[in-house]
Structure 1
């Protein structure tokens, strides 16, 4: 399905460019007519965006509660989990900050001058509403139902954490609810898969609309965006490997050799889950005990998304630049902190970063329709960010193991690691 969807997205991209170019040649002389034609093209992208907004609240709630409920409460798990989360938070801040620095340095969206749709034309970034006091107060919901109705992701995260911790404290009594929420999470992942089937039409509509009004010059901007994003990812790889070398020393080179196959698999398939079984096997051979990687690696799949978080800041700021919206530094920092929280818990979601970006844009009254515009090249960026996520989790797992003093000498003849299905990832978040 993933390869077929990618093929359809590429087909939608090509046909959208062709349709937009034809429309631009026919009605390009009249800006008003071109805008009207582009509006009808963009209807397909708008439908996709409505569906994305529809799934955000239940998706974040179910995946985050299920993840927290599986963490357990043993002393060893708490200590290892605490160290892992400390690493995840620091790596997340580095990824987000680096993405913010590079997107401001390159400014790939400047000069694109996209126009907001009629439904958002009066919306603007209200800097006065983003002061620290109001932001902190807004994080805490007054109503669970209201937060979900408004798609206020930060508030959903807060009450999801409370519910997840509460279910953990209930123990056996809370298991029926945990099972229900896990089923809900699986349901929402299935629904998300259905929604993503509309993506090729959204790509067609978004590109056709952009080319109709802007001409073929818009394609150069998309190519520039992808190239500059990969430069930022290369800088992040250097930092992650350097941080790993501080703990692992020369064994960082051995780790690179062991994990190159799962990283390449993640890059070629744009799927972290596809690389998961091979990563377990390679970490076992590297010397990480099974009881450690069976806990930290799945936890990292939810909370340590270095590439995805860099993409989130890159994409959010690119969209603001493309629509000519100047964001002050404090607003950018606030967006960074919001992404720090909202990017957690939905790693198994197809195109999860798009959901996070869409939610963050809505949170700050930025043009959500910009997501449909970058969707045309999202797969090429997804390949890089997925490989980065996998590498980041391999480094984190190895570093925490070394931190615990449990990293064993390498052995190519260790026990075989059974293949782990995608649905089993959540069940692995526990120490034996």
Structure 2
């Protein structure tokens, strides 16, 4: 017998390719529409039933992750605020950076609300869920603040989860998170347990998301069979509203801040940042863009040590495209799709989640988490949340490119503005000829590096 071991057979591994996945979702959208048209034209009930079964199963898989995701994300986000510390200078810089994060998020979410109300994505196609539930939610939207407050408190903890009361779950999450924060190290085991649950939910969600092409085929196919070609108009408006709102933030809000506060020419900014913005648009990942984003900030004159702190922080908390614009547009899209009335309380809720949610859930934010938190705070039923998000997912790869580009631009803009106000901006470097943001050395690994398409959601685990 030979002493040399025979080589082990290579294991087949299915690798997740975001670009191929995005193309698969778009192909499923077209194929689903075709099958839906065939089912509607030929009266093939068996095909309608098959498409409905595929779509509803995918929706149910998403539904059961909603409430655990909301609870663990909020608890972890609040308790993670303990890690913010350092000397007085670091505290001042961190505080000012957070204020600018919140201010620009406020502007972005207001633009998202304005554009969504102008274009009204989802309106004109009433999917008509459980009418009793619609009436209950519409009654709440037109009610007083007292009605909202009294509806926050569950009779018991399990009931909030068992009955799918998302707003009550949000309230409980905030309460438990604040208590864990106040207990400090004593709550360590509980925080770690929540972290483990969150990671498990994210892993399961990653597996479910891999079924998105199949789910898209079923949802779109059934929708076309049931509602005809009218279903494409809401999706087109959703995409258009997202692009328009992001474009206003990217090409109007940021240049104004750079010009009037940082005294940086928008032409100079885009000249030095265009490479990373193009990369963000194509890659659809803030995490993958992080090394380029950091070096771009340095090339704009931002002091290197501050850029090394602010840009990675922004990568996990500063997402105007995914965490401000899109939750506003997406929430209004889902509300219009299901015939919900949005009142002043609901609009204020969207603003509050966008401004404080990204900071409170630092490190776990992404379009899916933020949109789920937003519609959860609006007390939409979990099944409706999952259905609305699943429908929007059909065109998500297209929207995600513009959202990510906006995210990355903001992640460079805010550190530049803060650096100017703190005397940490080198004008000689700023005035230097524009050049691609080349790497100047090895980058330290960050939690954002593992984040994938959508700028904030972890890459689904490889099978």
Please state which band the TM-score falls in when normalised by the shorter chain: 0.7 to 0.9
Q: Which moved further from structure 2: 37-46 or 386-395?
A: 37-46
CA-CA distance at 1:222 after TM superposition: 1.4
Alpha carbons of 1:331 and 1:91: their partners in 2 closer, same or farther (altered >3 Å)?
same
Once the two structures are superposed, what CA deviation does each residue of 1:206-265 show, in whole Å capped at 9, x if it has no partner? 211211101123123312321232122221221122012112224443222222112111
What SS class does the counterpart of residue 324 from structure 1 fall into?
A: coil
2:413 paired with 1:395: yes
Q: Indicate if the aligned counterparts of 1:267 and 1:384 stay in contact, CA closer than 8 A.
A: yes
C-alpha distance in structure 2 between counterparts of 1:165 and 1:287, whole Å: 39
CA-CA distance at 1:112 after TM superposition: 1.6
What SS class does the counterpart of residue 52 from structure 1 fall into?
A: helix
Alpha carbons of 1:422 and 1:13: their partners in 2 closer, same or farther (altered >3 Å)?
farther
Aligned to 1:383: 401
Aligned to 2:215: 202
CA-CA distance at 1:104 after TM superposition: 0.8
CA-CA distance at 1:162 after TM superposition: 5.2
C-alpha distance in structure 2 between counterparts of 1:228 and 1:266, whole Å: 20
Alpha carbons of 1:137 and 1:343: their partners in 2 closer, same or farther (altered >3 Å)?
farther
Q: Which moved further from structure 2: 110-119 or 135-144?
A: 135-144
The number of residue pairs the alignment matches comes to 418
CA-CA distance at 1:180 after TM superposition: 7.2
1:340 to 352, 355, 364: 355
Gaps of 5+ in 1: 427-432
2:115 paired with 1:102: yes
Q: Structure 2 matches for 1:35-46, cutoff 5 A?
A: 39-46=52-59
Aligned to 2:40: 24
1:223 to 236, 240, 243: 236
CA-CA distance at 1:183 after TM superposition: 6.3
Q: Indicate if the aligned counterparts of 1:61 and 1:160 stay in contact, CA closer than 8 A.
A: yes
1:324 to 339, 349, 359: 339
Q: Indicate if the aligned counterparts of 1:20 and 1:210 stay in contact, CA closer than 8 A.
A: yes
1:265 to 279, 283, 287: 279
Aligned to 2:423: 405
Aligned to 2:11: none
Aligned to 1:292: 306
Aligned to 1:430: none
Q: Indicate if the aligned counterparts of 2:170 and 2:376 stay in contact, CA closer than 8 A.
A: no
C-alpha distance in structure 2 between counterparts of 1:21 and 1:75, whole Å: 64
C-alpha distance in structure 1 between counterparts of 2:215 and 2:438, whole Å: 48
Alpha carbons of 1:130 and 1:93: their partners in 2 closer, same or farther (altered >3 Å)?
farther
2:227 paired with 1:214: yes
Aligned to 1:86: 99
1:156 to 164, 173, 176: 173
Q: Indicate if the aligned counterparts of 1:229 and 1:381 stay in contact, CA closer than 8 A.
A: yes
* RMSD of aligned residue pairs (Cα, Å): 3.6
Once the two structures are superposed, what CA deviation does each residue of 1:324-344 show, in whole Å capped at 9, x if it has no partner? 222223432333323433344
Aligned to 1:311: 326
Alpha carbons of 1:335 and 1:406: their partners in 2 closer, same or farther (altered >3 Å)?
closer
What SS class does the counterpart of residue 137 from structure 2 fall into?
A: coil
Aligned to 2:10: none
1:113 to 126, 145, 148: 126
Gaps of 5+ in 2: 1-15, 451-463
What SS class does the counterpart of residue 124 from structure 1 fall into?
A: helix
Once the two structures are superposed, what CA deviation does each residue of 1:87-107 show, in whole Å capped at 9, x if it has no partner? 111111111111111111111
Structure whose alpha-carbon radius of gyration is higher = 2
Aligned to 2:84: 71
Alpha carbons of 1:86 and 1:343: their partners in 2 closer, same or farther (altered >3 Å)?
closer
Q: Indicate if the aligned counterparts of 1:16 and 1:208 stay in contact, CA closer than 8 A.
A: yes
Q: Which moved further from structure 2: 286-295 or 93-102?
A: 286-295
Aligned to 1:361: 375
CA-CA distance at 1:163 after TM superposition: 3.4
Q: Which moved further from structure 2: 336-345 or 246-255?
A: 336-345
Q: Structure 2 matches for 1:151-190, cutoff 5 A?
A: 152-157=169-174, 159-160=176-177, 163-164=180-181, 167=184, 188-190=201-203
C-alpha distance in structure 2 between counterparts of 1:160 and 1:302, whole Å: 19
2:432 paired with 1:416: no
CA-CA distance at 1:395 after TM superposition: 0.5
Alpha carbons of 1:310 and 1:98: their partners in 2 closer, same or farther (altered >3 Å)?
same
